[in-house]
Structure formats: C-alpha cells, structure tokens
A = this chain, B = another copy of it.
Amino acid sequence: MTDYAAPLADMRFALTEIAGIDDIARLPGCEQASADVVDAVLEEAGKLAGGVLAPLNRSGDQQGSRLENGVVRTPAGFKEAYAKYVAGGWNALPFAPEHGGQGLPMALSTAVFEMWNSANMGFALCPLLNVGAVEALHAHGTEEQKQVYLPKLVSGEWTGTMNLTEPQAGSDVGALRTRAVRDGDRYRITGQKIFITYGEHDMAENIVHLVLARLPDAPPGTRGISLFLVPKFLVNADGSLGQRNDVRCVSLEHKLGIHASPTCVLAFGDNGGALGFLVGEENRGMECMFTMMNNARLNVGLQGVAIAERAYQQARDFARQRVQSRPVTATSAGTFAIIHHPDVRRMLLSMRAQTEAMRALAYYTAGAIDRARHHPDGDVRVAQQRRVDLLIPVVKAWSTDLGVEIASVGIQVHGGMGFIEETGAAQHLRDARIAPIYEGTNGIQANDLVGRKLLRDKGMAAEELLAEMRALDGPLAAAPGEDIAKIREQLSFGVLALTTATKWMVERGAIEPARTLAGAVPYLRLMGSVTGGWLMARSALAAEQHLADGHQDRAFHQAKLLSARFYAEHVLATAPSLLSAVAGGATVMAFDIEQF
C-alpha cells in the first residue's frame, strides 16, 4: 500500500526538456553526466529508494528516534540502510571530486535527492543537513579543515549538522547567545541549541556540528556571529577519532511528523566548554550560514515535491483498488474502483499536475546552479546565478506549501481510511508540514524574494525571467491543438499578472515597505504558479513535438500534454486573482494589533 517507485520517466523528461541535462553535460566539469550515466544513476537510485528506504518509512514514523542515556537510537533498519547508502557512494554524488565527490551535476543530484525524500523524508534529512556542512567547509574552511573533515563528510562516514536555533533565536538568528571563548588556536563553546536535526544519532561514527556562536567582544546582532566546527569526537593528527567533545543531546522533540529524524536539544560546554574550530573569519558567520542555507533551501523545496509525489502514488494506488459506488461514467454492470469517479480523478490530477510543475521548477533551478558554477562564459554564470537567487525562495516556499496541500488531498482520496494512521496517507501530511517552516519560514522566503531579490536590483532579475516567459508565446502560438491553445491563453494572463505585480512591488517597496511585505506571500505564490505554468507550457510543447515525431511512448507524452492543460485550467487560471491580495496589504496594516 505504501510502495514507492521513482517516477523515472517524468524525472528524465524534466531533466532533459526543462533542466537541459544534455547541455549541462557539455559544460566543463560536468562531462561525466552522459545520457548513459544519467540513466544508470536514476535507475540505481530508484532501486535503493524503493527497495531499501521506502519500506522503512512507516516503521520509522511509528518507532521514531529515541534518546536513551544520551545516545540517540534511530529506528530499526536505519543504521543498515545508511550503511548501504554510504557504501553505494550515494552521499558523494553531488560533491566536487577534489575531496572524493562524484562531481555529477546538481540537476541530476536533485532528481536523486527527490527520491530519497519521497522514499523516506525522515531518513533523507541526515544527508540533507550534511550537504550544508560540506558546502560551508568547502567555501570557508581552512585547508587543514578540508583535509581532515571533507573526505569523511563527502563519503558520508561522518555526518554534518547546522546549529543555528536557540529558544529565543529562531528566525531572528542575530539574537543567539551561545558563547565562544578563545582558547589558544581553538575556542570553547558554551550554550544550548534547539531544533538540531540529526544532532545526535547512531548511523555514523562521528558528527560534525557547524555551530553559530558569539565571541565575548562581538558586536550585537548578526554582525557578531561566528561559525565554528565542533566535532562530536575530536580528531587525532592521524585522522583517527579521539576524545568525546563536550556536547551532548539532552532531549528530543515530540513532533507532528518526521518522527524518524531526531530533532535534538544540544548542550554545549556543560563540562568546561566544547572545543570548536573557527570556520571563516570571526564575526562573519552569517555569510557562512547563507552558504549552507542556499542549497538547503532548494533541497527543502524538493521535499515538498518529493512528499507530493509519494502522496500521489499512494492515493492513486488506493483509488485503483478501492471499490465503492457506481460512477456516472459506468457503462456496464459490476464493481468499480473509485478512480472512475470524476472527483477522484480531479483530485489525483491536481496532485499529479502540480507535482510535475514543482518538479520542473526544482530541476530547472538546479540546472541553473550548474550553469552558474560551470558555464565558460562569465556573463552567463552571473546571469544564471541571478536566476538561481531569484528562484530559490520560490522553490522553497511554493513547493513546500503545495506539498502540504497535496498531502492533504491525498488523505481525502482515501476517505475514512485516510484518517487511520495504518494507511500511511496521514504520515505524509504530518511529515510535509515541517517543510514550510524550517530553513527559513515561507514568510521569510517571501520577504527575501521581495526585499532582496526584487527591490535590490529593481526587478531586473524578475524582468529577465518574465521576458523569457513572454518569448514562449510565439512557439505556443505556432504549435497545433486545443490543449496548447488553452495553455497559451492561461499563461498569457498569468505572465501579465506577474508583470503587473512585479512592477507594483518594485514601485511600492521603497515607499510602503510594510504594505508590500504584507503582500509578499501572495506575490511569491503568484510567481510560483506562473513560473510553474511556464515550465508546464514548455513541457507541453516538448511533448507535442515528441508526439509529432512519432515517439514510441505516446501515452506518456499525451499525459504530459493533458496534465499541462489541467494545470493551466485549474491552477494557473487562479493565479491572476492573487493580484488583489498582493496589493491588499494596506488593509492588513490598517487592522489594529489590539483588535486581533
């Protein structure tokens, strides 16, 4: 009932037609990503995801991670699954070759990451956090730190964490109080961190904590924060593990979902101070943190895609086997599965079409990261980075909001059985619900989109994207068929609305900051819906072309055309109506705080 099969056909389609994996494979440093390799990686990852990780999803939820005498025990089977994951070289997939990474493109590793998260989000969080630690060390670590820590973190023998949050410092990182005191060429760290994902566990022999802390003489706020590497076990000169460091897990949170993932309260320095090593410069920790967070935000957005895919598969399988009532379409006697009912089909198609749109956007953004890193032309790199910076908050917030909505529809497809925990549909909603919150709440993503990504460049990056969207109108007009005509119509309305909203935001942002920020979330939703619609239109064109070329898999490409049309009629069609809310922040700010 809760099987997962990686949607290889749609993943390949999105990689080829949307991310442009063939072009990416021609970039210097990405040459290994030949079509054969891409196929093999997807195929093998699909096996690990479906065969090893997915079967542990439900039991992992039921058992949860447990804290026993300071040791965190992950659910049965997790340790063994992680060992297989490491042994297969999967952890090294996205990383640069210099420290043992496989150097495969981000677009490909994004597809693979989607699989881990679909199969078992509670498990996948461990590698997800590790990516941030690797990237921070890669960008800001000393040569020695890289030599000692990166090979183990890249292979996955050791795992990494991100230690930001404290009880009084959540979204407001600058309010953190954890102290770091110089002690020779090291530091002694004292304080408490909360919400530390896989802050303690039994799947790896060492854990490398990246910890934000404050020096005694640091300036207040975010300009006084430094980043420290605090290993669970200190590392000897020969690379072997030494003494246990002064950091321990004092409790685990009881959460709505992702029960398998231990969310730790970590106490640093109860016995004299945990030994920490500065990463980057003193008081420049926030920059390092943003390095960690940027790709983490893409990966969290991907969790929205992944959980939506899993919820879709489960709802579809249930709807195929559950027999109930005679549908209006029935032309014969006998029993009918509920998938024949028009509204059940509508629900399934809404799950599927939106998941495809989110997948397209996530892979597209990952492809832009590859170009920003590897393109030989510096101007292209800069332009692609601008695109990435613009879209990261959209991928994160739009996909995770939809992930929750789609998981909820998945429950609805099941009827009463959806509310029963044994069915597994409810877990997806519980798991999905964290993603709009962590790695910067979706409200913060919207503030970032409007404040940093729109206003700072006066809408240039957004206008570049909009120009590309408009340029698709020609090809859409030239393509045959009613499906594409309908898609074209809705896309044109959507692009017009997003253009209007963007201009409005750029004009008003400086004059009425509170009002524009009160419209930031609807604006982000508008941008997600329209950008998703643009990529679905590109998918429809590609599918149409394959059909015209006599591609052998007609059913798949016909389904792509129809899901794009569904998206246009049911999702994109509602996007322009968000304009009123985008500009409606004046009412929000007029409502007195005392009146709530």
Q: Which residues of A contact B (CB under 8 A)?
A: 165, 168, 170-172, 175, 195, 253-257, 316, 319-320, 323-325, 327-329, 339-349, 352, 404, 408, 411-412, 415-416, 418-422, 426, 429-430, 433-434, 436-438, 441-443, 446-447, 490, 513-515, 517-522, 555-556, 558-559, 562-563, 565-566, 569-570, 573-581, 584-585, 587-596
Whole-angstrom CA separation of A343 from B588 in the bound complex: 9
- Taking a contact as CB atoms under 8 Å apart, the answer to whether A589 and B415 are in contact is no
Which has the most chain B C-beta neighbours within 10 Å: A342, A411, A558?
A: A342
Taken together as a complex, chains A and B put the C-alpha atoms of A339 and B329 apart, in Å, by 51
B contact residues around A195 at 8 Å (CB)? 416
Docked Cα-Cα span, A421 to B575, in Å, equals 34
With A587-B569, A591-B562 in contact, do A415 and B171 touch (Cβ < 8 Å)?
Answer: yes
CB distance from A453 to the nearest CB of B (A): 16
Closest residue on chain B to residue A513 by CB atoms: B328
- Of all chain B residues, the one with the shortest Cβ separation from A486 is B587
- Verify B172–A517 contact, CB threshold 8 A: no
Shortest beta-carbon distance from A577 to chain B in Å: 4
Inter-chain contacts of A434 with B (CB < 8 A): 419
**Interface pair B342/A589, CB less than 8 Å apart:** yes
Most chain B C-beta atoms within 10 Å of own C-beta, residue among A327, A328, A438: A328
Contact A587 B574 (CB under 8 A): no
Contact B257 A419 (CB under 8 A): yes
A442 cross-chain contacts in B, Cβ below 8 A:
412
In the assembled complex, the CB of A2 is this many whole angstroms from the nearest CB of chain B, namely 15
A-B contact pairs, 14 of them (CB 8 A): A256-B426, A342-B514, A342-B589, A343-B446, A343-B520, A344-B443, A345-B596, A346-B519, A412-B437, A415-B441, A566-B587, A566-B591, A569-B584, A570-B580
Partner of A595 from B422, B559, B570 at Cβ < 8 Å: B559
Complex Cα–Cα for A57 and B556 (A): 49
Whether the Cβ atoms of B256 and A329 lie closer than 8 Å is: no
Contact A415–B437 (Cβ < 8 Å):
yes
**A558–B412 alpha-carbon span in the complex (Å):** 38
Identity of the chain B residue whose Cβ is nearest the Cβ of A325 in the assembled complex: B172
Interface of A is mostly: helix
**When A342-B517, A594-B555 are in contact, do A433 and B408 touch as well, CB less than 8 Å?**
yes
With both beta carbons as reference points, the residue of chain B lying nearest to A323 in the complex is identified as: B168
B416 touches A595 (CB 8 A): no
B-side contacts of A585, CB under 8 Å: 342, 346
Complex: chain B residue closest to A569, CB-CB: B584
Q: How far is the CA of A211 from the CA of B482 in the complex (A)?
A: 52
Contact B517 A343 (CB under 8 A): yes
Contacts A566-B584, A570-B587 given; 11 further ones with Cβ under 8 A?
A171-B415, A339-B593, A341-B517, A342-B514, A342-B517, A349-B591, A412-B437, A412-B441, A562-B595, A569-B581, A576-B577
- Contact partners of A573 in chain B: CB under 8 A: 577, 579-581, 584
Q: Are A588 and B574 in contact (CB under 8 A)?
A: no
What is the chain B residue whose CB lies nearest that of A427? Answer: B256
Q: How far is the CB of A349 from chain B (nearest CB, A)?
A: 6
**A584 surroundings in chain B (CB, below 8 A):** 566, 569-570, 573
Bound-complex Cα distance A555 to B327 (A):
52
Chain B residue nearest to A515 (CB atoms) is B342
**A416 in contact with B168 (CB, 8 Å):** no
Q: CB-CB < 8 A to A324: which residues of B?
A: 170-172, 175
A544 to B584, CA, bound (A): 21
Smallest Cβ distance from A225 to chain B, in angstroms?
Answer: 15
CA distance A580 to B436 in the complex (A): 28
Q: Is the CB of B339 within 8 A of A596?
A: yes
State whether A591 and B577 are in contact (beta carbons under 8 Å apart), knowing that A256-B426, A412-B437, A433-B411 are contacts in the complex.
Answer: no
Q: A325 touches which one: B171, B257, B515 (CB < 8 A)?
A: B171
CB–CB B446/A418 < 8 A:
no
A577, B577: Cβ atoms under 8 Å? yes
A7 to chain B, nearest CB (A): 12
User: Which of the residues B254, B419, B515, B574 comes within 8 Å of A256, measured between beta carbons?
Assistant: B419
Chain B min CB distance to A489 (Å): 10
Closest to A581 in B: B570
Closest B residue to A258 by CB, please name it: B419
Please judge, given known A-B contacts A433-B419, A559-B595, whether A443 and B343 are in contact too, CB under 8 Å.
Answer: yes
* B591 contacts A345, C-beta separation under 8 Å: yes
Q: Is the CB of A352 within 8 A of B596?
A: yes
- Flag if A588 contacts B555 (CB, 8 Å): no
Q: How far is the CA of A301 from the CA of B195 in the complex (A)?
A: 36
Which B residues lie within 8 Å of A593 (CB)?
339-340, 345
Q: Which residues of B contact A590 (CB under 8 A)?
A: 562
- B-side contacts of A422, CB under 8 Å: 254
Partner of A517, one of B328, B348, B420, B429: B328
Residue of B nearest to A572 (CB): B580
Q: Which residues of B contact A329 (CB under 8 A)?
A: 514, 589
A171 CA to B577 CA, complexed, in Å: 34
Output the least CB separation between A400 and chain B (Å). Answer: 10
